[in-house]
A and B are shown apart, each in its own frame.
Chain A
Amino acid sequence: MPEVTLKSARFRAEREASWRELERLVGAFEARGPRSLSAAELNRLPALYRGVVSSLSVARAISLDKNLLAYLTALAGRAYLCVYGSKRRAGEAIADFFRRGFPRAVRRHAAPVAVAMGLMLLGMATGYRLTVADPERYYDLVDSRLAAGRDPAASTAELRAALYGGQDFGNDLLGAFSAFLATHNAQIGILCFALGAAAGAPVVYLLFENGLMLGAMGALYGSRGLGAEFWAWALPHGVTELTAVALCGAAGLSLGGALLFPGRHTRLQALASRGREAALLVAGAVAMLFVAAVIEGVFRQRVHDPAWRWLVAAASLGLWIWYFLFAGRAAAWPESAAAPAAALGSWAAGAGG
């Protein structure tokens, strides 16, 4: 048999230099991020990536060199993750999220948000009616640890003191109190979302129960003629906090809905696409819970005039309504996905400038 040069060996000899170049760029990208590449290198990356993908297709058709196939597969995979795997810079993404992404996500979830709010209001009404009808029920509805003495056995003066309490905190601890409230509530909100993956049933219960407690407390205070003052105490932060809780609940309900009613998609597909959307709701709600905690931990401890408290409650309600209905409607989405050249271009600009 004469000296043969295999087609596959020649193919490799011709292309190998460009594979090695891509390997070097990808290695730097993986270890130190896109910033470690120069603008020219970033511009070469997508071209080299397409080259290696085409090499892989050819190699699959003509070569039986196992090592070569494994190498090209891995290199194409690594380059693919560099070209398509990453996203915009974090600062930009966060600003865009609050300007557009979050209110849009809420609008897209109008139905589950309405259901979650409805459940909570239903819970409140139920708790209120039950407690008005029989004050003893208060003990079943409100956890004694949470009530902390605010129960039907307490005197009116004690109940009133609870509304204007907080002087027992030193001023230097108000921030810490807010931080505690924010982290505690946010953790519960996140849990609400996570529970949604369990078909939503626990979420329904949590939302309803939350409403029950608030309604029962409202009824207790109302029975002592402190109704208006109670709501002036609860609502300044409550508007923000309850909305956020409802959003987390809506996210959980949406997940549960995807599991129970996947529609035209498979359950896995439905869960994946709804899950990503719903996660946006939770991220925004966590931010809202931090806002609510500052109002609760600082404003409510300092300001005791019911008129001011009502004003803040009304203002926050108006603000959220405006935000969720109108914010981010005008501008179009920036091209985010599936535009590797553009994404790499922006890095190149960042690396150059």
Chain B
Amino acid sequence: MRVGRVVPEFLVTTPEGVPLPFTVASAGDRMLAIALDLLAIVLGSIATWVVCLAAMIGGARGLGLTLGLLTTFALRNAYFIVCEARWGGRTIGKRVAGLRVIARDGGPLTAEAVLARNLTRELEVFLPLAVLLLGRSLAPSLPGWALLLATLWLFVFALLPLASRERLRCGDLVAGTLVVRSPAAVLLPDLAAAAGPLPDLAAAPWPASFAGSWKAPGAARAAGPAAAQEEEIAFTREQLDIYGIHELQVLEELLRQESAGAISYDVIEEVSAKIKAKIGWAAGGRQVPTVPFLRAFYRAQRARLEQKLLFGERQERKRDPGRRG
């Protein structure tokens, strides 16, 4: 089975001493977030100046100008700081992109860190933007090569995140922070839960496809033939010693996709046939449906591997019974 691109992770050790992996935010997500935030700043500034110009035309010349200058300054410099300090490291753009800022040392995200990482934006974002948009008019007396050099130098900072695995920008380096994906995961039903309905099954209704192809293990006990069939399926120890944790979890993924109706039946048939061939499974004249067979195999395989785990043996990959036993 094809293994996807490896997602860079960052291990934070909590004060309890437990390492927690966080997924490092991708450059694309970061770009989306900053684009949205800059858009918010620009729109905010435009709105401010519309109001202030109206006030100035209306007679409050000094007041309008003062408020306009101060608000634009605040938007440009304080927007990121206030958002990140208030919302636990999330700006509007980061919220939309599903990102947040954390401290690399595992401690809380302090106000100092938020200040430090955002004060450097002047160098990374606003200066390169100004050079791009205004160019020559910024420094009319500068020779062309010097302007080019300055521009290149600025872009070294703007593109710094691409240089590190953790996508650290200059501000992250200065503040000791890191931008990660906001962790999110849904707890799905336990594929190996055989006995009695679990306390919260009612809260997590089975997907519709379950009803068609297969019954929930908990409900199946009362359902008769399917459950009876599954209980009849037994595997020998030799059969269960072939596959490892990796294959077990690939099978878990497959079964979960099946129960969500997100995979074609042919694939399941093919996998089932492969497993049967590999472990030398003899049907013994009985007709066992594919999905119940795979579920039974998953449960037995997980039981075996977890048992080994308790005895300190972690079998990551399958063994080839023909070659090395």
Taking Cβ atoms with an 8 Å cutoff, the residues of A that contact B are: 1, 3-9, 12-13, 16-17, 19-20, 23, 30, 33, 50, 53, 56-57, 61-68, 70-71, 73-78, 80-82, 84-87, 90, 93, 97, 170-176, 178-180, 182-183, 186-187, 190-191, 193-195, 197-198, 255, 268-269, 271-273, 275-280, 282-283, 286, 336-338
Q: A16-B198, A64-B305, A194-B119 are in contact. Are A183 and B72 (CB under 8 A)?
A: yes
Could you say which residues of chain A place their CB within 8 Å of the CB of B153?
198
Q: A3-B195, A65-B302, A66-B253 are in contact. Are A268 and B173 (CB under 8 A)?
A: yes
B62 lies within 8 A of A173 (CB) = yes
Q: Measured between C-beta atoms, what is the minimum distance from B187 to chain A in Å?
A: 4
B127 lies within 8 A of A75 (CB) = no
Name A191's contact: one of B12, B127, B200, B256 (CB within 8 Å).
Answer: B127
Rounded to whole angstroms, the CA-CA distance of A186 and B295 in the bound complex is: 66
A275 lies within 8 A of B187 (CB) = no
Scan B121-155; emit 1 where CB is below 8 A from any A CB, else 0.
11110010000000000000000000000000100
Rounded to whole angstroms, the CA-CA distance of A33 and B62 in the bound complex is: 38
Q: A4-B303, A6-B299 are in contact. Are A272 and B62 (CB under 8 A)?
A: no
A87 lies within 8 A of B108 (CB) = yes
28 A-B pairs with C-beta separation under 8 A: A8-B302, A12-B193, A13-B193, A23-B187, A61-B309, A64-B306, A64-B309, A65-B190, A67-B185, A84-B108, A85-B89, A90-B85, A173-B61, A176-B61, A179-B65, A179-B69, A182-B73, A187-B122, A194-B123, A271-B173, A271-B176, A272-B105, A275-B116, A279-B119, A279-B175, A337-B107, A337-B108, A338-B108
Name A174's contact: one of B12, B62, B86, B115 (CB within 8 Å).
Answer: B62
B183 lies within 8 A of A74 (CB) = yes
Rounded to whole angstroms, the CA-CA distance of A85 and B100 in the bound complex is: 11
The answer to whether the Cβ of B214 comes within 8 Å of any Cβ in the partner chain is no
The answer to whether the Cβ of B18 comes within 8 Å of any Cβ in the partner chain is yes
The answer to whether the Cβ of B186 comes within 8 Å of any Cβ in the partner chain is yes
Could you say which residues of chain A place their CB within 8 Å of the CB of B24?
none
Q: Measured between C-beta atoms, what is the minimum distance from A107 to chain B in Å?
A: 16
Q: How large is the interface on B (under 10, 10 to 19, 20 to 34, 35 or more residues)?
A: 35 or more
Name A87's contact: one of B77, B111, B245, B306 (CB within 8 Å).
Answer: B111
B122 lies within 8 A of A276 (CB) = no
Rounded to whole angstroms, the CA-CA distance of A185 and B195 in the bound complex is: 71
What 8 A-B pairs come out closest when comparing CB atoms?
A272-B176, A275-B174, A279-B116, A194-B123, A172-B62, A176-B65, A74-B185, A77-B183
The answer to whether the Cβ of B234 comes within 8 Å of any Cβ in the partner chain is yes
Q: A4-B303, A6-B302, A278-B116 are in contact. Are A190 and B187 (CB under 8 A)?
A: no
Could you say which residues of chain B place their CB within 8 Å of the CB of A277?
112
Q: Measured between C-beta atoms, what is the minimum distance from B312 to chain A in Å?
A: 10
Could you say which residues of chain B place their CB within 8 Å of the CB of A183?
69-70, 72-73
Name A194's contact: one of B12, B110, B120 (CB within 8 Å).
Answer: B120
Q: Measured between C-beta atoms, what is the minimum distance from B2 to chain A in Å?
A: 17
Q: A13-B198, A73-B185, A279-B112 are in contact. Are A65 and B119 (CB under 8 A)?
A: no
Q: A65-B192, A85-B88 are in contact. Are A19 and B119 (CB under 8 A)?
A: no
Scan B301-324; emit 1 where CB is below 8 A from any A CB, else 0.
011011001100000000000000
Q: Measured between C-beta atoms, what is the minimum distance from B308 to chain A in Å?
A: 10
Name A193's contact: one of B119, B173, B245 (CB within 8 Å).
Answer: B119
Give the interface SS of chain A, mostly helix, strand, loop or mixed: helix
A71 lies within 8 A of B187 (CB) = yes
A191 lies within 8 A of B116 (CB) = no
B22 lies within 8 A of A12 (CB) = no
Could you say which residues of chain A place their CB within 8 Å of the CB of B183?
73-75, 77-78
Q: Measured between C-beta atoms, what is the minimum distance from B224 to chain A in Å?
A: 16
Scan B78-91; emit 1 where CB is below 8 A from any A CB, else 0.
00001001111100
A64 lies within 8 A of B119 (CB) = no
- Among A23, A190, A283, max chain B CB count under 10 A is at A190
B120 lies within 8 A of A197 (CB) = yes
The answer to whether the Cβ of B231 comes within 8 Å of any Cβ in the partner chain is yes
Q: A1-B235, A174-B62 are in contact. Are A62 and B309 (CB under 8 A)?
A: yes
Rounded to whole angstroms, the CA-CA distance of A53 and B20 in the bound complex is: 9
Q: A6-B303, A80-B20, A276-B112 are in contact. Are A64 and B14 (CB under 8 A)?
A: no
**Can you name the residue of chain B whose Cβ is closest to the Cβ of A269?**
B176
A85 lies within 8 A of B102 (CB) = yes
The answer to whether the Cβ of B203 comes within 8 Å of any Cβ in the partner chain is yes
Could you say which residues of chain A place their CB within 8 Å of the CB of B187?
16, 19-20, 23, 67-68, 71
Rounded to whole angstroms, the CA-CA distance of A17 and B184 in the bound complex is: 18
Q: A183-B73, A186-B77 are in contact. Are A9 and B116 (CB under 8 A)?
A: no
Could you say which residues of chain A place their CB within 8 Å of the CB of B306?
6-8, 62-64
B195 lies within 8 A of A338 (CB) = no
The answer to whether the Cβ of B158 comes within 8 Å of any Cβ in the partner chain is no
A338 lies within 8 A of B115 (CB) = no
Rounded to whole angstroms, the CA-CA distance of A65 and B195 in the bound complex is: 17
The answer to whether the Cβ of B191 comes within 8 Å of any Cβ in the partner chain is yes
Q: Measured between C-beta atoms, what is the minimum distance from B284 to chain A in Å?
A: 15
